[in-house]
Amino acid sequence: MQALKIIKHALDSTIELINKGEQPTTALEKVARELDLNPNYIQRTGELLNVALHYDHFKKASDKASDFDIADIPGVTSNVFGEKEKTLAQKQAEWFPAIPEEINYNKFLTNPGFKKAEAEIEATPANFDSFGITYKGQFKKAADHMSRLSRELDEIQTEKAANDVYVEAAFFNLVSGFKKEAASRTAFHDFETQVFAEYGDKATPYLDLIYKSANLSEDRGTHDDKKINFDNCKEVEVFGSFMKAASASVELEKEAAEAETYVSEQKDKFSTMGHALNPMAAAFEKAACDKLADELEVEIKVFNVMHKDAAEGGHGLIDTLTNKYNQLSQTSKVTPNFRNTVLDNRDRVSMLQELIMTDPILSKQPPHKVVNAYQQFIRLAPQLSKEKEVVGSTLREMLMGQGLHVTDANQLVEGNTNVLKQHQLLHGVTATDKPADKK
């Protein structure tokens, strides 16, 4: 029943193109490519089409012996399934192990799930779109759904990252401000008094951290939550933005974690469904991914470093800010400069694998060419080498243009320098900012 619906849909689509002016052979080839018909479906659709063309000619033509166009079925099959250059997917398929696939069709015929699906197909109307019930149609629906989920997750993670940067920037702005001479800023006593009156006890740990980080010795403010502020100082306004961003950070952290869990569960669900439909898919997928991962790891291992990652001691916002300030205060130079870690390279490998497998342009290129282009990207712009969108667009330009123009390379280096400077401004302190040693 399914085969008849597919052929009927293909025949209707072909006739519709012919009525719009297409030649029969051209129309049949377009429909065959659009619906991904195999040679048997092309043969049956072409036969029915030629019968319909003969009937139409003998019914309408005044000279029934005159010539008329019919579909060249062997020509269409040859054009669609002729010898072609191997695509990346075909080359990757060569990595799969040669495991013979034996299908017990008799067992499938007695499977309740297949019987139920067959009954649903038979009960569908005559104009039912058969594309949705094919493997390709189901895969497209699943892929579109996962793409939408991934975009929404990217938006949440981007908002969270931007908010985290603002939290750190506002905190270090307050610390830097109170490290100035007392005459050029608001007294900390007034600042703390106004902040506590505005935000209450929840502001106390932040006030203590700012006081300690700025190495102040002046009087502290009063904690009177009944005091009314008629005119807040500018530092209180910055602190208000900091508190708002800190509150949003907690919410975004929770939202991002929930979104990551949901997307992960959905990916596992669709993967499980695909493996249930094709039991051999799991073994094939593992073999191909392992092979690609090994190739990428060999290509990128030159960027691995020998030192271990430094783990942060705290998990809360207060602990994180304290640890970062302590790290910045322990050096006499502007820090941090660009540092490469093992975890950084793992993130790069994961990002590059995703681009090679999912990007519409990079997925059609040999993996070693993409990796070679990425190596050049890292040499020119290490600070930008983990930015997925920047890396993807640059690699597409490099591979489509057979290289990177010197002007584009200069722009890439300049952009990397600007990002590094911004990173240093947000996270770095200089030797003059270090607290003086107590005698």
pLDDT digits (tens, 9 = 90+) for 365-376: 777 788 888 888
Cβ-contact 11, 49 below 8 angstroms: yes
What percentage of the chain exceeds 70 in pLDDT?
A: 70
Indicate if the pLDDT at residue 387 is higher than 60: yes
Would you tell me the crossing angle of helices 2-19 and 24-35 to the nearest 10 degrees?
Answer: 140
What radius of gyration do the chain's Cα atoms show? 32
Note whether 69 and 164 are same-domain residues: no
Nearest to 383 by CA among 416, 423, 354: 416
CB 96 within 8 A of CB 79: no
In the numeric block, the tokens 């043969």 are attached to: 43
| Token pair of 286 as six digits | 């593992």
User: What pLDDT shows up at residue 437?
Assistant: 45
Are residue 286 and residue 422 in the same domain, yes or no? yes
Please tell me which residue, 321 or 59, carries the higher pLDDT value: 59
Check whether residue 405 and residue 326 sit in a common domain.
yes
Question: Is residue 326 within 8 Å of residue 398, measured between CB atoms?
Answer: no
Task: Tell whether 110 is covered by a domain.
Answer: no
Residue 10 within a domain: yes
Can you give the pLDDT at residue 232? Answer: 81
- Mean pLDDT is lowest, of 30-44, 54-68, 186-200, for 54-68
Per-residue pLDDT band for 431 (boundaries 50, 70, 90) equals very low
Q: Tokens at residue 324, please?
A: 């970062």
- Do 298 and 438 lie in one domain? The reply is yes
Which of residues 52, 84, 116 is at a domain's end?
84
Question: Which pLDDT belongs to residue 435?
Answer: 45
pLDDT recorded at residue 432: 42
Q: How far apart are CA 12 and CA 96, in angstroms?
A: 38
**pLDDT averaged over every residue in the chain:** 75
Residues 316 and 270 in one domain: no
Does one domain contain both 135 and 271?
yes
Domain presence at residue 115: no
Phi and psi, residue 266, nearest 5° = -65, -40
Tokens 């080839």 locate to 29
What confidence tens digit (pLDDT) does each residue in 21-51 have?
Answer: 888 999 998 998 888 888 888 888 999 899 9
Q: For the residues 301-312, what does the mean pLDDT come to?
A: 40
- Kindly state whether residue 430 falls inside one of the protein's structural domains: yes
Is 80 exceeded by the pLDDT of residue 91? no
**Of the residues 51, 84, 117, the one at which a domain ends:** 84
Question: Could you tell me if 301 and 427 lie in one domain?
Answer: yes
| Structure confidence at residue 87 (pLDDT) | 63
Q: Are 190 and 321 contained in the same domain? A: no
* Domain boundaries, position 16: 2-84
More confident residue, 437 or 292: 292
pLDDT band, residue 313 (cuts 50/70/90): very low
Task: Check residue 215 and give its pLDDT.
Answer: 86
Structural domain includes residue 108: no
The three-class DSSP label of residue 233 is coil
- Domain assignment present for 363: yes
| Residue the block writes with tokens 């207060």 | 318
Q: Where are the alpha helices (DSSP H) in 20-134?
A: 24-35, 39-60, 73-81, 88-93, 105-109, 112-122
Are residues 421 and 293 both part of a single domain? yes
HSE of 271 in the Cβ direction (CA atoms, 13 Å)?
Answer: 11
pLDDT tens-digit profile of 245-299? 888 888 888 888 888 888 888 877 777 777 676 666 666 666 666 666 665 555 5
Residue 258 lies in a domain: yes
How does residue 333 score in pLDDT terms, banded at 50, 70 and 90? very low
Tell me: do 299 and 378 sit in the same domain: yes
H or E stretch at 209: helix 204-213
36 vs 331, which has greater pLDDT?
36
- 255/386 same-domain check: no
Distances (CA, A) of 21 to 14, 25, 356: 11, 12, 40
Which of 57, 84, 111 terminates a domain? The answer is: 84
Position 157 confidence tier, pLDDT thresholds 50, 70, 90: confident
- The answer to whether residues 160 and 262 belong to one domain is yes
Domains in the chain, number = 3
Rounded to the nearest 10 degrees, how much is the dihedral formed by the CA atoms of 142, 143, 144, 146? Answer: 90
Rounded distance between C-alpha atoms, residue 231 and residue 24, angstroms: 82
Does 123 reside within a domain? no
